[in-house]
């Protein structure tokens, strides 16, 4: 398989088209959650029949709650969808390795060449990586996935909500 084919096939990894999709999902999500939360908060204040000052305070509190909710949900969705994409990339990579390990080896060699190794050294390194753990090598060097940097959605959501409220 020619190098161009390896590259073209590589475009099927979902990581590459994740950017705009995530932004779109997040934008829609943010608008929905913050508006709905604010409306619920303000309608609760009106239903209580409160005076102007209390209404202002309630509206402010509703705004904080709405923003924090929106940030938390947005962050959760963002991290979750990122993890989903990484997971599907992982499955795809396993399939590639099972179907065509030779092309995967050349792909890895080319990645190392791009990082400054000579072709001879690059193929040596690629072979050593394939002998040890091909999947790990491809996830790390091709897709930039590191197990210890995997984000946790609930933690991210809480941090985001807390930061918004503190602000
Ligand atoms: Zn690969």
Distance 142 CA to ligand 1 centre (A): 6
Distance 7 CA to ligand 1 centre (A): 10
Angle between helices 52-99 and 153-166 (to 10 degrees): 150
Distance 126 CA to ligand 1 centre (A): 11
At residue 1, the pLDDT reads: 46
pTM above 0.75, yes or no: no
Pairwise pLDDT comparison (71 vs 1), residue with the higher score: 71
At residue 104, the pLDDT reads: 96
Distance 26 CA to ligand 1 centre (A): 29
Q: Return d(Cα 38, Cα 33) in angstroms, integer.
A: 9
Read off the pLDDT of residues 102-156 as tens digits, 9 standing for 90 and up: 999 999 999 999 999 999 999 999 999 999 999 999 999 999 988 777 778 888 8
- Sorted by sequence, the CB contacts under 8 Å of residue 156 that are 6+ apart come out as 75, 76, 78, 79
Read off the pLDDT of residues 16-31 as tens digits, 9 standing for 90 and up: 555 666 667 677 777 7
Work out the end-to-end distance of the chain between its first and last CA atoms, rounded to an integer number of angstroms: 55
DSSP-assigned letters across all residues of 55-96: HHHHHHHHHHHHHHHHHHHHHHHHHHHHHHHHHHHHHHHHHH
At residue 52, the pLDDT reads: 73
- Sorted by sequence, the CB contacts under 8 Å of residue 89 that are 6+ apart come out as 13, 14, 15, 139, 143, 145
At residue 55, the pLDDT reads: 78
Q: Could you identify the residue written with the tokens 């590191």?
A: 146
Residue spans of the domains in the chain: they are 3-166
Least confident of 50-54, 79-83, 140-144: 50-54
At residue 122, the pLDDT reads: 97
pLDDT mean across residues, the chain? 83
Distance 112 CA to ligand 1 centre (A): 12
């Amino acid at each position: 398989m020619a190098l161009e084919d390896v590259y073209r096939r590589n475009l099927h990894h979902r990581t590459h088209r994740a950017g705009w999709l995530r932004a779109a999902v997040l934008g829609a999500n943010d608008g929905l959650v913050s508006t709905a939360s604010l409306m619920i908060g303000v309608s609760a204040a009106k239903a209580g029949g409160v005076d102007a000052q209390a209404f202002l305070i309630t509206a402010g509190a509703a705004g904080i709650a709405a923003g924090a909710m929106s940030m938390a949900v947005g962050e959760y969705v963002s991290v979750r969808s990122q993890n989903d994409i990484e997971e599907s990339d992982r499955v795809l990579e396993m399939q590639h390795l099972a179907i065509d390990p030779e092309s995967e080896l050349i792909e890895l060699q080319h990645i190392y060449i791009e990082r400054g190794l000579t072709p001879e050294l690059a193929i040596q390194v690629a072979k050593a990586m394939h002998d040890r753990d091909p999947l790990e090598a491809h996830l790390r060097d091709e897709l930039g996935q590191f197990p210890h940097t995997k984000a946790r959605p609930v933690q991210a959501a809480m941090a985001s909500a807390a930061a918004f409220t503190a602000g």
